[in-house]
Structure 1
Amino acid sequence: MSNMTVVICNYNYGEYLRCAIDSALTQTVGAAQVLVVDDGSTDDSHDIIQSYGERITAIFQENGGQVAAYNRALEQIDSPYVIFLDADDLLYADTVSRVIAAFASGDYVKVQFKLDVVTHEGDKTGVTVPQTTAVADCGKLLRAGWLYPSPPGSGNAYRVAALKRIFPIPVTSDNRHGADFYAIYGIALLGHVCMLDLPLGGYRVHRSAASIANGASGANGSTAQLAFSNSEGPLALARKAALRWSTLRVVAQERLGETLPVAFFDFSTEKAHFADRLYQASLARRWRWFVLESGSYFHTVLANPFWSMRKKLAVSCLTGLCLIPLTSVSDRAVRYIANPLTRAGRVGKLQPDAR
């Protein structure tokens, strides 16, 4: 039995799937099992998966969403550790060896590592995520309602026995996706998290910010250059985070005997609402937000337990620029706060998704 399983959950990502599988198969330790769960793809994913033969284990299921794919994968895993690698991301060759060594160094339920943000072609943008380091006892802060800084799904490795205390997650019509939310935050209730402060994989942003924004309607028109994720705009993700938190509260109570707060604190969520309200907004609208609506935003800035005082002051000052009458200055500040790719000057240079 291998110590590590790399699970790749795929839905119509045939364009990137081979890169993800190859990155899992070419680990330096040579002992990682690779399990691919195809969630009802209609592109060429099936043929790509079949071409690997017995080098990987494949599961083909009807389309049920990411939550169903995680549930199915955890039924099959017999290794002590697992990485859920998104089909459009990749791991570096020494990822598994470094992660296993980290697990062996302490009593951890999760090891997380940074990811390089890469373009459609796989070129590094110079940005890594997350940009803030969490503390080891993330569970203590989670019980107080704080979502701790974590990389996207591909940047996390879990102790399988702990993860199986949280999963399976109920699959409903409004809870098909976001399985990584339950894994990332639920696991912190079961033990300590180890942070490796170096990038061990690539998080592929293969849609331009503008292409994402075309599918979103903000209060102030276009939100180009604000979006960072591939599938949804930031405001949509923020709204779904609230629904997922409600589900996690139920799971934590029923399976772990943990009572989580009704509401949570998370700067990523607050900055999505901030950007939606202030980007391309009139001066009057911006002032109204500061006077009447900014309380929860500034709470996640000034009371943030993961940030240094220097970062709190920097974000507060940048936010204050939104009170300047010039819309161009305000919009630039919003873009800088909302999207790390803007800071690296890479927004607009990412190839839009062709599908």
Structure 2
Amino acid sequence: MPTHSAPALLTIVICNYNYAPYLGGAIDSALRQTAPGVRVMVIDDGSSDGSRDIILGYGDRIEAVFQPNGGQVSAYNHALRRLGTPCVIFLDADDQLQPDAAEAVLAAFAAGDYVKIQFRLEVMTADGTLTGVQVPQSSDVTDCGMRLRDGWLYPSPPGSGNAYRVDALRRIFPVPVTADNIHGADFYAIYGIALVGGVGSLDRPLGRYRVHRHTTAQTGRSDSASLSLANAEDALAGARQSARRWAILRGLAWERLGIVLPAEFLDFSAEKAHFATLLHGAPLTRRWHWFRHESSRYFHTIAANPFWSARKKLAVWCLTALCLVPVASISNRAVRYIANPLARAGY
């Protein structure tokens, strides 16, 4: 009698743009999944660095999609039009998954009524060295959809640490592609999905997140890159981009879901970006001025944070107070410690 293989339940979509040095590692990690029938789709966003040859080298083991350069939002839109599995992981081309990642998230989907399962990522440097840091720092996603309706962004890993139900994600996507909205597709996926249904969390690392930015410990300079974990120009630029994306998400939430979101969001990560940019390397008088006249929103995202324990709130308050120490080496170290988890690991 003929045998029939089990239907594919999950696709790992790798969105790539000029990441040839890392692309093979991402694809290999997707192909090594222990769960049966996992599909791998690679969307190349008009790369010019030899990525095409790497992709074609995998033959029919992957689904290769080549599109003109249009940015990450365009790639997500394209993928969601093509997907034929009920679940998806969007893996950044410089990141990697553990072999049992798909197996673990599929089991979690089967065990509960979730539209997203998130998991921790181990942070590695550009050359693949593990730092001992994991993200997110907090994995509490209790009532995150309700909190999001109040404007609170919940703790989530970067894009590679999330698995989604495709039917739910299609209620948010496609996202408009405009001149100022070509990147940050994971923002709409991560937060938009919580407006559609429940989010589950696996409190163990199932992947690796690569950080390309140099920290102060590595460079000996007090540059803005040391104030952010994310692969962005600087922390403040990332906060401003999040504000623009929130405005777009508000429009999508109303048009497609009938949900009214607040005009502004609340997120300690965004507030600490402003805090770190203003206070790192600043004279004592400037730091005092910030505490007395500009810090109310920063401290509100600590005191009222619905995802933090009282112990964590107290710890961040105490660390923030160290920024008033007149010794620059102490105050700057405190700023970096708050702003970037890698600073806590000596990077």
CA contact (8 A) 1:95 1:201 kept: yes
Mapped pair 1:139 → 2:182: no
Mapped pair 1:185 → 2:186: no
Whole-Å Cα distance in 2 between the matches of residues 191 and 198 of structure 1? 22
CA contact (8 A) 1:212 1:231 kept: no
Alignment-derived partner of residue 13 in structure 2: 7
Whole-Å Cα distance in 2 between the matches of residues 19 and 210 of structure 1? 27
Change over 3 Å in CA distance of 1:75–1:8 after alignment to 2: same
Deviation at 1:230, TM superposition (A): 1.8
Give ranges in structure 2 of 5+ residues lacking alignment.
1-6
CA contact (8 A) 2:224 2:235 kept: no
Describe the superposition over 1:60-114 as per-residue Cα deviations: whole angstroms up to 9, x where unpaired.
Answer: 0111000000000000001000000000000000000000000000100000000
TM-score, L = length of structure 1: 0.93
Whole-Å Cα distance in 1 between the matches of residues 80 and 260 of structure 2? 25
Describe the superposition over 1:117-154 as per-residue Cα deviations: whole angstroms up to 9, x where unpaired.
Answer: 01223221100000112223211000000000000000
Alignment-derived partner of residue 40 in structure 1: 46
CA contact (8 A) 2:319 2:334 kept: yes
What secondary structure sits across from 2:226 in the alignment?
coil
Find runs of 4+ consecutive structure 1 residues off by over 4 angstroms.
210-213
Whole-Å Cα distance in 1 between the matches of residues 326 and 217 of structure 2? 29
Mapped pair 1:229 → 2:235: no
Give ranges in structure 1 of 5+ residues lacking alignment.
214-220, 348-355
Alignment-derived partner of residue 209 in structure 1: 215
Deviation at 1:231, TM superposition (A): 3.2
Whole-Å Cα distance in 2 between the matches of residues 232 and 177 of structure 1? 13
Aligned-CA RMSD value: 1.6
Alignment-derived partner of residue 30 in structure 1: 36
Using the aligned pairs only, state the percent identity. 63
- One-letter amino acid matched to 2:125: T
Alignment-derived partner of residue 276 in structure 1: 277
CA contact (8 A) 2:123 2:135 kept: yes
Whole-Å Cα distance in 1 between the matches of residues 67 and 217 of structure 2? 30
Describe the superposition over 1:164-206 as per-residue Cα deviations: whole angstroms up to 9, x where unpaired.
Answer: 0100000000000000000000000011100000000000113
Deviation at 1:212, TM superposition (A): 12
Describe the superposition over 1:233-274 as per-residue Cα deviations: whole angstroms up to 9, x where unpaired.
Answer: 111100000000000000000000000000110000000000
CA contact (8 A) 1:6 1:33 kept: yes
Mapped pair 1:149 → 2:155: yes
What secondary structure sits across from 1:60 in the alignment?
strand
Change over 3 Å in CA distance of 1:206–1:317 after alignment to 2: same
Change over 3 Å in CA distance of 1:166–1:231 after alignment to 2: same
What secondary structure sits across from 1:194 in the alignment?
strand
Change over 3 Å in CA distance of 1:338–1:289 after alignment to 2: same
Deviation at 1:224, TM superposition (A): 5.0
Alignment-derived partner of residue 118 in structure 2: 112
Mapped pair 1:242 → 2:248: no
Change over 3 Å in CA distance of 1:104–1:235 after alignment to 2: same
- One-letter amino acid matched to 1:135: V
Alignment-derived partner of residue 330 in structure 1: 331
What secondary structure sits across from 2:14 in the alignment?
strand
Whole-Å Cα distance in 2 between the matches of residues 332 and 109 of structure 1? 39
Whole-Å Cα distance in 1 between the matches of residues 142 and 227 of structure 2? 30
Work out which of the residue numbers 194, 199, 205 in structure 1 matches 2:205.
199
CA contact (8 A) 1:111 1:194 kept: yes
Alignment-derived partner of residue 299 in structure 2: 298
Whole-Å Cα distance in 2 between the matches of residues 281 and 38 of structure 1? 42
Alignment-derived partner of residue 260 in structure 2: 259
CA contact (8 A) 1:252 1:260 kept: yes
Whole-Å Cα distance in 1 between the matches of residues 232 and 148 of structure 2? 26
Whole-Å Cα distance in 2 between the matches of residues 306 and 73 of structure 1? 32
Alignment-derived partner of residue 172 in structure 1: 178
- One-letter amino acid matched to 1:23: S
What secondary structure sits across from 1:291 in the alignment?
helix
Change over 3 Å in CA distance of 1:42–1:212 after alignment to 2: farther
- One-letter amino acid matched to 1:10: N
Whole-Å Cα distance in 1 between the matches of residues 216 and 56 of structure 2? 35
Change over 3 Å in CA distance of 1:252–1:212 after alignment to 2: farther
- One-letter amino acid matched to 1:117: V
